[in-house]
Amino acid sequence: MATATTACPLDSYLVLPDHTMDDRIAAARKVLGRDVVILGHHYQRDEVIRFADFRGDSYKLSQQAARAAGKYIIFCGVHFMAESADVLSRPGQATILPDLNAGCSMADMAEITQVEDCWEQLVASGLTTDLGEGITPVTYMNSAAAIKAFCGERGGVVCTSSNAPGAFQWGFAKNSKLLFLPDQHLGRNTGYNLGIPLNEMAVWDPYLINGGLTPERVRQARVILWKGHCSVHQRFLPEHVDNVRARYPGIRVIVHPECRWEVCQKADGIGSTEGLLKLITQAPSGTMFAVGTEIHLVNRMGKEFAAEGKKVITLDDSGCLCTTMFRISPQHLCWALENVVDGNVVNQIKVKDEVKHWARVALDRMLEIQ
């Protein structure tokens, strides 16, 4: 590999057409060989994900990050995913996020000082201790490394939409209450499907005194839900389900558990991105699906499953894309790869050691839960 030089400027790449990146990406991959592994989230645009060595949801890609043998992990996803890859990586590996602006609005809805303030109030109320003896904190993968570390240090765990039910059961085996953040919809849908009534779940608003809850309401709640959501999945409404059924009699409606409870209750099936793929894969030829999730994945499934005689459409014709995931472009990927070829590691995601330890504890617990 070449001796380190001044990094190639990104601006010179962004003015070039997408298709001009293909041969350059392939050439850089050939030079780097097994030293680099590219991970691509399902919500990535087609022009990027086709270069991924592994594609999947956040849980599947976390597993791949933990197993990755390459010196360089290029994560075509968003910031919290790259953080988790860095936490799970081995010494000497570098995790690269092609565009540092690829964040997650949901993850930003739970800031560490807000969570610490919430916990202090729960401790003051006598419902738990500093180390989580009374309430198990469970954070969704879509959260900052500092939040994951917060949960790990207090006996909690990280979960994904794939293993959220298992994480809930794991948490309840330790304590009678859960604090779930930052996605209220995933928490509510998971809790309800495990038999927890809606009146035993309460929403904590970090911008209100005591979360906007009375002491009695907090004591009554088995699950305290953080007031956060996914900007893509919250767009789906119950009337979208009604409308698509009216237009296509017999259609199966399947949605992501980040959708509103009212939408999930009307659906025929609920699943993570991997779960949605499985539902369609296992269906007989001729089945038609309306899917409530990010539009890039829906469109990709529509193309791939057409060969099997299955029709896949979006639940809402104005289906929203994940704008932060969309920031990763072929130009960003090429720029990151060619800089590595030149001996420059750009956009490296490095979690602080004191955060990494407890975040790793929480993520390792996640990987043990089915």
Sequence-distant (6+) residues with CB within 8 A of 51 are 25, 29, 38, 40, 76, 330, 333
Please give the torsion angle defined by the CA atoms of residues 186, 319, 109 and 191, in that order, rounded to the nearest 10 degrees: -10
Percent of residues in the chain assigned helix, strand, coil, to nearest 5 = 50, 15, 35
325-337, pLDDT tens digit by residue?
A: 888 999 999 999 9
Burial class (CB in 10 A: 0-12, 13-18, 19+), 48: buried
**Burial 65-85, CB ≥16 within 10 A → b, else e:** bbebebbbbbbbbbbbbbbbb
Residues in a beta bridge with 269: 254
pLDDT per residue, tens digit, the chain (370 aa), is: 333 445 778 999 999 998 899 999 999 999 999 999 999 988 888 899 999 999 988 778 878 888 888 899 999 999 999 999 999 888 999 999 999 999 899 999 999 999 999 999 999 999 999 999 999 999 999 999 999 999 999 999 999 998 999 999 999 999 999 999 999 999 999 999 999 999 999 999 999 999 999 999 999 999 999 999 999 999 999 999 999 999 999 999 999 999 999 999 999 999 998 899 999 999 999 999 999 999 989 999 999 999 999 999 999 988 678 888 888 999 999 999 999 999 999 999 999 999 999 999 999 999 898 7
- Give the pLDDT confidence score for residue 2 in this predicted structure: 35
- Give the pLDDT confidence score for residue 6 in this predicted structure: 59
- Give the pLDDT confidence score for residue 370 in this predicted structure: 72
- Give the pLDDT confidence score for residue 4 in this predicted structure: 43
- Give the pLDDT confidence score for residue 1 in this predicted structure: 34
3-state secondary structure of 159: strand
Asked if residues 104 and 78 have their Cβ atoms less than 8 Å apart, the reply is yes
15-37, pLDDT tens digit by residue?
A: 999 889 999 999 999 999 999 99
Measured in whole angstroms, the distance separating CA 337 from the mean position of its chain's CA atoms is 24
Helix axes 184-193, 164-174, angle to 10 degrees: 70
Domains delineated in the chain: 11-103+326-354 (3.40.50.10800), 107-230 (3.40.50.10800), 233-314 (3.40.50.10800)
- Give the pLDDT confidence score for residue 64 in this predicted structure: 87
- Give the pLDDT confidence score for residue 3 in this predicted structure: 38
